[in-house]
Structure 1
């Protein structure tokens, strides 16, 4: 059984808190125009340097999402000079996007040279990941290879999201929006309640069903 909504209808939530949660999500995801509209309509104060930072992060995010990783790396080094130097996993993943772009463009010789000069120096702990990418070169149609997911938008999205969070953390800002953290906390609470009271007491949490309730 689920929790009866009538049990929490009497709970009052401060409207300013809701605005803060929404603003956090918009800033995190670089919705600049919507941030401007929200702050204008509600009279909220924008975080210092908020719009300028969002514009830079938005450009970096979209370059990574489009597979233009070298441009994303250049802009990241301008915005957060030592970030990639301290985060080898993220740096490798960004460079891998460029490798994939070369493979998709059928520039296999250039891709091989890039892997040897830019990816191989990351060391032994990256051999497994490097082998996965190098396997793409063995197929005339890489999109039909067992490693086809490395060519997907989902993979670029994953890397772009990781980069965005890392840039935020580098600037001493939350790496996840308040809305994400609230949903994560809700799921953990439901899991703990199920463990404490029995699996049949609380159904598995579904955000889609919750929004419809």
Structure 2
């Protein structure tokens, strides 16, 4: 009789197979780059109008007249906010003419900023000012920050999403940083405020004077240094790898692994939850190994025979998810060896049982579509012929067998190894950290992190 745990396991792996059907591996969102629209020019629409003149290329700004009071600032934002799905954003401003008073400024403002004010003079803004070298953040009173800047100087403004700081540079050198206490989108902003002041802006079209690549590399080293300082229990990696091999039934690899480490690494016990200990991971290890090998070599008939002999309760319901995935795999294997007539006959008998059942519809359609192509391996559904599809089926059978252990109290312990739980926890922590930062900072992709060999700061 199928238990509630086994039903949960079957439903879970069916959902994984359906997810693959709707988003095959070659179109996984984790392979996409985090392309965000970048600021490219000054926004002539949202600016302080008559107090400034913007060049036709929308990268130069000039103050043509004499200001009468503090509300006559020529301020302008970029056409787009600073991108947030990255470690650092940066832009620069060159002072072409310091004008009569040298009151140029650079900073970041929100979309609600009053454009007739200097960045930093209003709430929700930061500004580094040339005439006094002060930093302004949300009020008209500045604080000591850095040197003044004038004609010929290049100043820059950046956002470090990892440290949650805004920083400014002068002539390629960092002047200082300030805590970024706003989670909303920020727009690169520049301003001029005395007659004949003129500045040009570089949003990255030209090389920056400040070495932003070296700065990013330094920030990543800081992250890595913090990670390296975290202490772990001795030989914990050995225990985690061993638990992974046990969970998925890699008996041969496990034996070699134990032999290689027997003389140098003492056994280590990993705390398990819900009473699930290593002895339970050893449950039916040889059976699980054998069935995984059969599935990986395409011997689905032999798998059915073995399950009928040893674990009939798993497949007694011929419309269960595990039976469905096995029948789909049998159909796929027939297509793989070009037994198309046999695949058609098998589909009419076995897959026909699942026609009209909504939960199976997508994968049935994908499997049958293999017959429509002269070379199915190069078709949009060719991923079904890959090893990853066999692994999904093998993992399903493995979990179902583990669920027959009378000591098993939690279906989740059957579905995932301790290593996978650890990686899920890592992902959850990184996503939570980004959420707390207003969904700003580098997007965490586990596959990308593992492939690059880099760890995130968490």
Same fold (TM over 0.5): yes
The match for 2:380 among 111, 135, 146 is: 146
Q: Describe the superposition over 1:37-61 as per-residue Cα deviations: whole angstroms up to 9, x where unpaired.
A: 3567424589447667222211111
CA contact (8 A) 2:284 2:402 kept: no
Q: Describe the superposition over 1:100-150 as per-residue Cα deviations: whole angstroms up to 9, x where unpaired.
A: 222233322221111111121134213443233223223333334332222
Between structure 1 and structure 2, the one with the greater Rg is: 2
> Which runs of no fewer than 5 residues in structure 2 stay unpaired?
1-161, 163-219, 270-276
CA contact (8 A) 1:77 1:84 kept: yes
The match for 1:42 among 260, 266, 271 is: 266
Q: 2:305 is matched with which residue?
A: 74
Q: 2:429 is matched with which residue?
A: 189
Q: 1:88 is matched with which residue?
A: 320
The match for 1:174 among 414, 434, 447 is: 414
* In structure 1, distance between residues paired with 2:434 and 2:246: 34
Deviation at 1:180, TM superposition (A): 1.0
- The answer to which of 142-151 and 95-104 deviates more is 142-151
CA contact (8 A) 1:61 1:164 kept: yes
2:340 is equivalent to residue 111 of structure 1: no
More contact order relative to length (CA 8 Å, sep ≥ 6)? 1
The match for 1:56 among 287, 294, 297 is: 287
Under a length normalisation based on structure 1, what TM-score does the superposition of the two structures give? 0.79
Deviation at 1:155, TM superposition (A): 1.8
Deviation at 1:5, TM superposition (A): 5.0
Q: Describe the superposition over 1:29-84 as per-residue Cα deviations: whole angstroms up to 9, x where unpaired.
A: 31331454356742458944766722221111121122211212222344432123
Under a length normalisation based on structure 2, what TM-score does the superposition of the two structures give? 0.40
Answer 1 or 2: which has greater strand percent: 2
Q: 1:35 to 1:175 in 2, by over 3 A?
A: farther
Count of paired positions: 211
Q: 1:137 to 1:200 in 2, by over 3 A?
A: closer
Q: 2:368 is matched with which residue?
A: 134
Query: What SS does structure 1 have at the residue aligned with 2:284?
Result: helix
Q: Which runs of 4+ in 1 moved over 6 A?
A: none
Deviation at 1:88, TM superposition (A): 1.7
Deviation at 1:91, TM superposition (A): 1.5
Answer 1 or 2: which has greater helix percent: 1
RMSD: 3.2
